[in-house]
A = this chain, B = another copy of it.
Amino acid sequence: MKVGVILSGCGFKDGAEIHESVLTLLALDRAGAEILCFAPDVDQAKVVNHLTGEDADESRNVLVESARIARGEIADVKTADASALDALILPGGFGAAMNLCDFAMKGPDADVNEDVAALVRAVHAAQKPIGAICIAPALIARVLGKDGGPTLTIGTDAGTAGAIEACGAGHQDCAVEDFVVDREQRIVTTPAYMLGPTIKHVAEGIERCVAEVLELASPAGVA
């Protein structure tokens, strides 16, 4: 089983949420999946000092920073081959909503990085499952939303849920330890740090989300 993981930097305020990313890699490795990490080779929307929470006058590259989480084992998402993957997972963090797309700034009018959107569309068109964590379901909603778009969760935040529905996806409230699965469309989502409160709660939801993605990706999981 080969699973692509799209990272969006390294740090929840301007990149991929580190805990969510590592917990995803751990769950995949423990399940015996081969992991292929990807990120877009673009500048971050911004750099945030995670100690003070203030914007920093710096520029960092999403692929280069994502490589910190992937320990160097990562490729430009432009090179990803959907036909070589059995599933795709997107951890959260503001990077998913600022670097992979600009949902954090433009909500339902968000533009999505073309290479990321193309990979999501290709994996989905091949009827392979996609997992999305924390705020990453907003990107999925923007790419796959339409009449009868997938049902997703970002937890319980009404404003964000409304923006996801405005993209043409359905939203279902969900607890942090749980996940929402749209079996027909093969989309699995979990709130993670959209709800928190701590890493053990987030870990439980991600473990269950990853297990469900792998279940849907296995031959027995085909609807």
Contacts and interface: CB of A to CB of B under 8 A. Distances in A.
Interface residues of A, number: 31
A25 interface: yes
B25 A50 contact: no
Given A67-B51, A198-B29, A19 B19 contact: no
Contact of A30 (B30, B50, B200): B200
12 contacts: A10-B10, A10-B11, A18-B68, A18-B69, A19-B22, A22-B22, A22-B23, A25-B199, A49-B64, A50-B65, A51-B67, A51-B74
Contacts of A10: 10-11, 18, 68
A72 interface: yes
Contacts of A64: 49-51
Contacts of A22: 18-19, 22-23, 199
Contacts of A19: 22, 25-26, 71
Please tell me how many copies of the chain the complex holds. Answer: 2
Contacts of A67: 49-51
Interface in A35-82: 49-51, 53, 63-65, 67-72, 74
Interface of A: 10-13, 18-19, 22-23, 25-26, 29-30, 49-51, 53, 63-65, 67-72, 74, 193, 198-200, 203
B68 A29 contact: no
Contacts of A18: 10, 18, 22, 68-69, 71
B53 A199 contact: no
A199 B72 CA distance: 14
